[in-house]
Every structure is written in C-alpha cells, then in structure tokens.
Amino acid sequence: MKLWATVAALGLLVIGAWAQGVMPTVSLLPCDSPEAEAAALVAQDFLNAQHTHGYKYALNRIEEIKIISKPGEVDTYLLELDLLETTCHVLDPTPVSQCPVRQKQFTAVEADCDFALSNTTQGLSVVAFKCKSEIESEEDICLGCRHLIPFNDTDGIQLIETSLDDFNKKHTLNTKFVLFEIGRMAYQVVSGGNKYFAEYGIIGTNCTSHDDDICIPQNHTVAIHGFCQAEGSAKLNKVDCSIFNPAQVVDPATNAKGPVQQLLHAHTSGPQHNPTIHGLKHHKLTHLHDPSASGLLSAESSESAELVVPKKAPFVKREVAEPEGPAANATADAAVVAEKTPIPFEPILLVPICPGQKKHF
C-alpha cells in the first residue's frame, strides 16, 4: 500500500512540474538554418582560438543541433560538428574563412566535435567542448600520393634543418630564424627513391646574422614568426617561407590588430619538450574543455526528462470538390462527428533536418 502511495505521489509531482513548465524542452533546428550556421561558426572560431598547435580548422558540416530551454535560465545550444584541417597554421593571421581546406590527396585530417553554447544577452558563447581528430582513411588516397610520417622521423628532420639553414642564408630580414614547431612531414615514392615534404613554423631570435652561433628565440608575443614548406631528397632541396607577425597584422574587416596565439610550448627542446607528441603524425585537437558545465556533453543525457519539440513541418491544404444531394448530407454528418472527435496532429518531416550539407567533402 505504501509503495503505491509513493508511486502516486511521484506521479503527481512529475505532472505538476510538467504543468508548471519546469521540465526542460529540447528544440530541434534544421542543420542548414541560419541560426544553426551562426552557432557553428562561433564554435569553430572558439576552437581555433583554443587550438595551440598545428593548423586551423574549418566547418565542414553540422551533424546535429539542439536547443535546451529551461524556465528562468538561458538557452543552451548543443552541437555536433564535423570540421576539416586547413593549410593555415595557428599562428597565421589569415581568417579561417580564407584558409584552403587540405585535400584528400595530401592526407586530410578530420575532427568530430561536440559543443555546448550558452545564449546570453551578449550573444552565443562556448561553455564546453570535446573533440576527436583523426587522419582520413588512406584507402581514398591515390597511389603515389604523399603519406604522413611521425614528427621525429630522421629524414624529415634532416630536410627541415637543411632547408631552414638555406633560408637563413638567403633572406634579407635582420634576424636569424630557428625551428618553432613541426606542422607535418610526409614522403612520396618517386623514381630514384623517396621524396620528403615538411611544413614547419619558425621564430626570430636575438641573432642578426646567420653566422651567429648561440641564438635565443625572442619572446613569443612580440617575435617575428613564419611558416615554411620544404621538399627534397638527398640531391634536391627547395624551401618557401612566409613571414608574418600576428601582433602587427591588421584585420581589414574590423581595422583591429589580430590576436597573438598563446602556444603552450614549442616542439624543439626544453623542459616542456614532449617526445610523445613527436611520435604523432598530426597535431591532435584539445580533447576536452569543460570548466563550468560538467555533464553537458555526456553521452548519457537525461532524455527521459526532456520534452522534444521538433520544428513544425509545412502544412499543405488540399481543395476537394463539394458533393451534392444525399452524399452531401452524409458528408455533413461526418463533418459534425469529426469536429467532436479531436485527431492528434503529429508533424511529418518531409525531409531530414539533420545532418546538414557538406561544405567540402
């Protein structure tokens, strides 16, 4: 008897909470809607600001978006996004919208990310995220294409050292550059042996001549940085470096100076040198950032306590011919019965609202 009384009391509490609007509601947005796109771009820019190594990432597709609403609280946006690595290094001040996405034949890297955003009066802001990045399957890569090698590959490092030495001898800038970070290294099978490719960041030092021996990198926030692309083998060496200083670059859209990325550490040497990172073939994204919203991104969500409210599907009204005679009277009687018998309406989604269309591949 007590058990049934307890169950009944709990049922009344749930019904009362539902009636008072305490239960959270979840709205499902179309993934290609302007509102979903705006939220996804906020998440993309936040991720690139947090990512401290390697390359910027660009939005490829919105997999899912939900808006959780609770009375008296700001709405929470939950997004599942697919992003692709670009060819712009994180230090490159170029806006990510202008950065080319790395194509499959050059071994693309894909990132699957979950984001939680809060919609306040100041706008959307990321409160939590988690990402997993991985190299695209090499099954789609053509024969003779480039294959990534670890950051500590001996032949790749030798190419970096010789190409950087060659660049320091030929440039006209008043500083000597040293290696700041290895972006990626790869090889390609060609006639005569393997051909190697390397992409790496460089940083200016206190040395003004290539012949100086002991050179100390300048403070990261004020130093001149660059990004180099080298290729070669034992008999061939070519290098092309772009120099940029994020602290002095002005964004033409806002007429403001660009932010300086605060990297955690360089991939050269020192107390923060991490051999584990050097054994990888690409820079992994930050795995988890959940300082103030623990549980928002948990796979085990409280679905049983949520009211899911999908966007209404378009309703099409169909015109039909009016019957005459006895058939008309029968139709009228049926209409009266229909008015007294409410028919529950459930929206029919004509097309899937998610996932959205891919922007790249």
Q: How confident is the model at residue 59 (pLDDT cuts 50, 70, 90)?
A: very high
Residue 135 lies in a domain: yes
Nearest Cα neighbor of 166 from 195, 191, 202, 194 is 202
Same domain flag for 89 and 132: yes
Same domain flag for 158 and 88: no
> Three-state SS for 112?
strand
Whether the Cβ atoms of residue 43 and residue 81 lie closer than 8 Å to each other: yes
Torsion of Cα atoms, 264 then 267 then 268 then 272, to 10°: 40
Please compute, for residue 342, the number of CA atoms within 13 A of its CA located in the half-sphere on the CB side.
3
Cα 68 to Cα 72, 76, 195, 270, 302: the distances in Å are 12, 5, 52, 46, 12
Type of residue found at 324 = E
- Its domain, for residue 66, covers 24-140+293-308
Residue 127 lies in a domain: yes
What pLDDT does residue 296 have?
76
Residue for token pair 């499959």:
104
Same domain flag for 42 and 132: yes
Give one DSSP letter per residue of 31-63, joined into a string: TTSHHHHHHHHHHHHHHHHH--SSEEEEEEEEE
Tell me the pLDDT tens digit for each residue of 256-270: 444 444 443 344 443
What pLDDT does residue 255 have?
41
Same domain flag for 85 and 195: no
CA distance 260 to 219: 12
pLDDT surpassing 90 at residue 212: no
CA distance 200 to 162: 13
H/E segment holding residue 58: strand 55-69
Tell me the pLDDT tens digit for each residue of 122-144: 999 999 999 999 998 665 567 77
CA distance 348 to 59: 29
Tell me the pLDDT tens digit for each residue of 313-361: 333 333 445 556 655 555 555 454 445 545 455 555 555 799 999 999 8
Which of 83-97, 171-185, 345-359 comes out lowest in average pLDDT? 345-359
Residue 195 lies in a domain: yes
Calculate the average pLDDT of the chain: 77
Residue 16 lies in a domain: no
Residue 318 lies in a domain: no
Q: Domain total for the chain?
A: 2
Nearest Cα neighbor of 242 from 178, 171, 175, 182 is 171
Same domain flag for 156 and 131: no
What pLDDT does residue 24 have?
86
Q: What is the CATH number of the domain that holds 162?
A: 3.10.450.10
Per the omega criterion (within 30 degrees of 0), is the bond before 355 cis?
yes
- Beta-sheet pairing, 307-310 with 25-28: parallel
Same domain flag for 119 and 208: no
Distant-in-sequence, close-in-space partners of 23: CB < 8 Å, separation ≥ 6? 17, 305, 306, 307
Tell me the pLDDT tens digit for each residue of 149-176: 999 999 999 999 999 999 999 999 999 9
What pLDDT does residue 279 have?
76
Same domain flag for 177 and 122: no
CA distance 59 to 284: 16
Type of residue found at 281 = K
Residue for token pair 């890569």:
141
Same domain flag for 108 and 179: no
Residue 178 lies in a domain: yes
Same domain flag for 71 and 100: yes
Same domain flag for 38 and 119: yes
Residue 287 lies in a domain: no
What pLDDT does residue 304 have?
32
